[in-house]
Structure 1
Amino acid sequence: MTRTRMTRTRRLISTVAVVAALGAATACGPEEDTATGPGASSQPSAKPSTGNGGSGGSGGSGSADNGGGDCGQPPKLPAGHKMVEVAVPPSKGSMSAKDAKPACTPNDWIYRGDGKANYYLFSENVKAELATGGGSTKTVPVGELWTHAGDCMTNSSAVKSPYSCSGNIYDITLDSEGKVKTIKEIWHP
């Protein structure tokens, strides 16, 4: 009798362990968003996505557009940061960009430009960073960032490695005059 009880207990424990492991494996969706094209982009938890519509990010506030996913709470950006989607190729010293808001997809949160484009001037000492893949960035002269953003919007074949086009989503901070102080391209595979 003791042996039968031990066998039942072991089976019960094994069953619970298997169910817990399967639950943990299926609780989260894939880390990469497979959506492509205009308006489709993502950054699960901290990664951006492809497409001209935006990319994901590790922050921001906005509408929890529940597009079929189970994303939980919208991501939050650090204080003073905002995600934007460049609306037209930037020119020397300025850009037009829409605020990018997180939206839930079947794969996770993504960022998409929303509403009317705002006009931004760049501060004299702006820090610019371009994505080099895998979440890494490289500090570049701001003019190189303007060229890159324009090429991604009009001629993506002109973009050379280690750079790529990742949806025209940028994390920016503004100085006390409302000028862009930092701008960082958000990468997505």
Structure 2
Amino acid sequence: MKSTRRLLCTLGLVALLGTGVTACGPEDAPGGDAADPGASAQPSTSAQPSQSAQPSPSARPSRDPAQGDDSSRAPGSGDCGRPPKLPAGHKMIEIATPPKQDSMTAKDAEPSCTPNDWIYHGQGAAKYYLFSPGEVKAEVSTGPGSFTSVVVGELWNHVSDCMTDMSAVKAPYTCSGNIYDITLDGEGKVKTIKEIWHP
């Protein structure tokens, strides 16, 4: 009976020691010898965190390339806060080619978070727009939050200069990313257009 107890105790002790030895491997103790239980049982003060302590790539949260942030983050969280919301009937565009007498092509512009807050960028294919035959309200930016009303022909010239020869643009006007806030009439023609300034 005593020999059976001793045998069971010995097996239990070997099992415990075996568990302790197999829990540490060469990758858990850099520079240690996996065959030497004494070396792997002593934590090193200079040891770096092991690769096995970090989650595998498949265990990490996936990233949304469009946001550049963890997809687990709430929409609108981050340095920029919530994306801007346009007033009803307004739409942001990036003009794709210099406007001609009464038409232009432009891409829909969507906001993206940058170190300079939300900035709009054109997305997708350019669409064709006609200007309303009535009087179009046109505004050109003269700096942050300030605008000057111009006749629509002057706005077309300003856009063309910004796209083809920036040196032709004279103060107080500047070229500011070619983004415009527009509204359309009942026929889908541009009735207001305002240049958006950004740094």
- TM-score normalised over the length of structure 2: 0.60
Deviation, 1:74, is: 1.3
Q: How many residues align?
A: 127
Give the Cα separation in 1 of the matches to 2:115 and 2:172: 29
Counterpart contact for 2:119–2:198, Cα < 8 Å: no
Q: Percent identity?
A: 72
Given candidates 154, 161, 170, the residue that maps to 1:144 is: 154
Q: Which has the larger radius of gyration?
A: 2
1:56 equivalent in structure 2: none
Aligned match of 2:187 = 177
Pair 1:81-2:90 in alignment: yes
**Alpha-carbon distance in structure 1 between the residues aligned to 2:115 and 2:197:** 19
What is the distance in 1 between the residues matched to 2:95 and 2:68?
A: 23
Matches within 5 A, 1:98-177: 98-124=107-133, 125-177=135-187
Would the aligned equivalents of 1:97 and 1:118 in 2 still touch at CA under 8 Å?
yes
Summarize deviations over 1:103-138 as a string: whole Å, max 9, x none: 122442110000000100000211110011121111
The TM-score, its normalising length taken from structure 1, stands at: 0.63
**Which runs of no fewer than 5 residues in structure 1 stay unpaired?**
1-63
In 2, Cα distance between the equivalents of 1:132 and 1:100? 21
CA RMSD of aligned residues (A): 1.8
Structure 1 segments of 4+ aligned residues over 6 angstroms from their partners: none
